[in-house]
Amino acid sequence: MAGIRLPPEDSDVSQAARQVAAVDLISDDDRSIAADSWSIKSDYGSTLDDEQRQADAAEALSAATYRAASDYSSDKEEPDAETVSSMLGFQSYWDAAYADELTNFREHGHTGEVWFGPDVMENMATWTRNLCLEISQRNLPNHVDSTNCLPAGQSEKDLSCWSVLDVGTGNGLLLQELSKLGFSDLTGTDYSEAAVDLARSLAHRDGFPNIKLLVDDILDTKLDRQFQLVTDKGTLDAIGLHPDGPIKRIMYWDSVSGLVASGGLLVITSCNSTKDELRQEVEAYNQRRNGGSREADSGVEQDVMGRDATFEYIDHIRTYPTFMFGGSVGSRVATVAFLRK
């Protein structure tokens, strides 16, 4: 189910492209599917123990306008396609995958898979670094209000002042790449303890003592701080592949909004949603937040962790390899940046 970035108005082409991509994906063995796709790995089912959060998400889902990634599938007769898609959303699958990778590292020194490939990771890291510098210098797109942006006057060497969180960090290689580019306050979280153990081992071996790694579920986070930059490379994709994916995606936005500092950035890389679909999903979240704010008493303070915050589209990567399908240009990966207002 590799995502294809196609114009939203060409719905027939977009759906057909997803069908082709889905067939390509499910033709491989299960482990190859994971290796070629997503970096976070979790059942997340435990988060639904919070009945109120589930009820809120279910209510919001009834009015949602976007289509969840888990809804996209091939129209061909593939009896195990639904099973494969659901499996990738469960913790048991990813715990086993990272346990294998951890064993391979200990026995052979293997780093493991680079989710989306090294070229995408390096491209994303460099583009994100440049975007952070532009924000620091207030060189923002014309449609962006700089009122809530981070303080101006930072130079490249001041990237070390940016606090960074990578959710669903997997083996933590993205954090290593960001460290090479000048970031130093780096934290990675993952639901899978095996993934965190692997990331810690790799960071120690490769000489990155500044990277902090924690076991934490983005849908039920225990983090008590906010970050100026939050990155997501495949995490939202995997969440959408759980059988309760649509509800869990809503819960994701409620949670991640509390982790991004005001004026900070959220950068999402997806192979399962296009740039326009991610923007639509953010708009649905913003409308839900704004609707809740209007209903709330004006004298009640906002959540101190910013869960009533909204996001604004900033930019997206335009340099990923593209292909032609049905007369439209598409890409199998999308990276989109949002400013937390």
Q: Which are the contacts of 249, defined by CB distance < 8 A and separation ≥ 6?
A: 68, 69, 236, 239, 240, 281
Lowest mean pLDDT among 89-103, 182-196, 209-223: 89-103
Q: What is the mean pLDDT of the chain?
A: 75
Predicted confidence (pLDDT) per residue in 11-50, tens digit: 443 444 444 333 343 333 443 334 333 333 333 333 334 4
Residue-level pLDDT at 139:
57
Say which DSSP state 301 is in: P
Categorize the per-residue pLDDT at 293 as very low, low, confident or very high, splitting at 50, 70 and 90. Answer: low
Lowest mean pLDDT among 53-67, 202-216, 226-240, 323-337: 53-67
Residue-level pLDDT at 5:
38
At residue 97, the 3 state secondary structure works out as helix
Predicted confidence (pLDDT) per residue in 202-259, tens digit: 999 999 999 999 999 999 999 999 999 999 999 999 999 999 999 999 999 999 999 9
- Cα–Cα distance, 46 to 63 (Å, whole number): 24
**Is the Cα torsion angle 21, 27, 28, 31 positive or negative in sign?**
positive
154-158, 284-288, 291-295 — most confident range? 284-288
Backbone dihedral region for residue 168 (phi beyond 0: left; psi -120 to 50: alpha; all else: beta): left
Residue-level pLDDT at 161:
84
Categorize the per-residue pLDDT at 323 as very low, low, confident or very high, splitting at 50, 70 and 90. Answer: confident
Q: Which are the contacts of 124, defined by CB distance < 8 A and separation ≥ 6?
A: 116, 174, 231, 233, 267, 269, 317, 335
Q: Between the CA of residue 308 and those of 57, 163, 221, 228, 289, what are the distances in Å?
A: 14, 21, 16, 17, 6
Residue-level pLDDT at 295:
52
pLDDT at 2 over 50: no
Q: How far apart are the first and last CA of the chain?
A: 32
Q: What's the rounded mean pLDDT across residues 131-136?
A: 89
Residues in the chain: 341
Q: What's the rounded mean pLDDT across residues 316-330?
A: 82
Q: What's the rounded mean pLDDT across residues 182-191?
A: 96
Say which DSSP state 110 is in: -
pTM of the entire predicted model? 0.72
pLDDT at 72 over 60: no
Residue-level pLDDT at 178:
97
Residue-level pLDDT at 160:
79
pLDDT at 292 over 80: no
Residue-level pLDDT at 257:
95
pLDDT at 130 over 50: yes
